[in-house]
Structure 1
């Protein structure tokens, strides 16, 4: 069983990250507290997240990719956190619902990034030409196709680690709670 580390109980290499995370959120999210068990994983995830946030993908495209990964991998913590993020971005409530329920998206461009993300995963990167063409026809670039790979890697790490550690949903995220459809 994984423990919810504090700044005092975490491995030394994770303490600075925990302090910064607590300062940023106003509390220490349980997922981060549990990932502190492996300081390199925690640090790597946070660095990759920061890198993904600076890609040329717009915020709604990034969040669509993240929610696609989170629902596909059944990470209730990620779905809740990124539902909150979508609310902060004033995303269309119909988009948020469709992302959470894995239903067709009301925005064709965002549906294209979701479809492309699934294709990259389903083909282990051997994306057929017609799928890449559909992605670029929707207004994305070849650079962004590779940035999708960065997002997939980042959020594969997060979703799998959160599931492995059985990270609970933090109280501030309870309004955004999600369970996979059965």
Structure 2
């Protein structure tokens, strides 16, 4: 595999330094994925801007991580499954929900989480061409039309991270190693 540099804030291309510093402040460290993404300033800046915007959605941090884990399992992105599992735990997501998502289980221990994961998977399986029954199931579980679009936005953000992890071969950070995922679903 062709290696990608994992840039530090100090040694990244000039236009990538501020986005990396912002991530370091927000997350507590510069994830290897972001350091690799910093090779292209437009990539790390776009990633950071979308992450910032997603924190302003009406979905809770835990709900965003449900989407993140479901997308990452679907895309078999070991790096992102570990990251979203760790961030989900930090956001207060129940361990049994995290484990069920990581295992690709359709039946989750919490109903609203199950509806959110099911809708996310429907979006992924259909390439966004979900039927009214999938949208209706999400709305029927208490989510709004705006939140359906927020799920799509979170999914797009996570797909970007999944693809960058795959292209760059970013190594799992030590801070995330406790949530390593072997890709078995």
Per the alignment, residue 141 of structure 1 pairs with 144
Per the alignment, residue 126 of structure 1 pairs with 129
Q: CA separation of 1:22/1:126 partners in 2, compared to 1, >3 Å: closer, same or farther?
A: closer
CA–CA separation in structure 2 for the residues paired with 1:8 and 1:90: 33
**Length-normalised TM-score, structure 2:** 0.90
CA–CA separation in structure 2 for the residues paired with 1:12 and 1:150: 28
Map Cα deviations across residues 142-161 of structure 1 (whole Å, 9 max, x no partner).
Answer: 11111111111111111111
Per the alignment, residue 88 of structure 1 pairs with 90
Per the alignment, residue 150 of structure 1 pairs with 153
Task: Report which stretch shifted further, 40-49 or 121-130.
Answer: 121-130
Q: CA separation of 1:116/1:13 partners in 2, compared to 1, >3 Å: closer, same or farther?
A: same
Per the alignment, residue 100 of structure 2 pairs with 98
* Residue 172 (structure 1) aligned to one of 152, 167, 175: 175
CA–CA separation in structure 2 for the residues paired with 1:146 and 1:33: 29
Unaligned 5+ runs, structure 2 = none
State the shift of 1:26 in Å.
4.2
Unaligned 5+ runs, structure 1 = none
CA–CA separation in structure 1 for the residues paired with 2:42 and 2:73: 25
**Number of corresponding residues:** 182
SS in 1 for 2:81: helix
CA–CA separation in structure 1 for the residues paired with 2:60 and 2:24: 27
SS in 1 for 2:57: coil
**Length-normalised TM-score, structure 1:** 0.92
Per the alignment, residue 181 of structure 1 pairs with 184
* Residue 67 (structure 1) aligned to one of 65, 69, 74: 69
CA RMSD of the aligned region, Å?
A: 1.6
Per the alignment, residue 51 of structure 1 pairs with 53
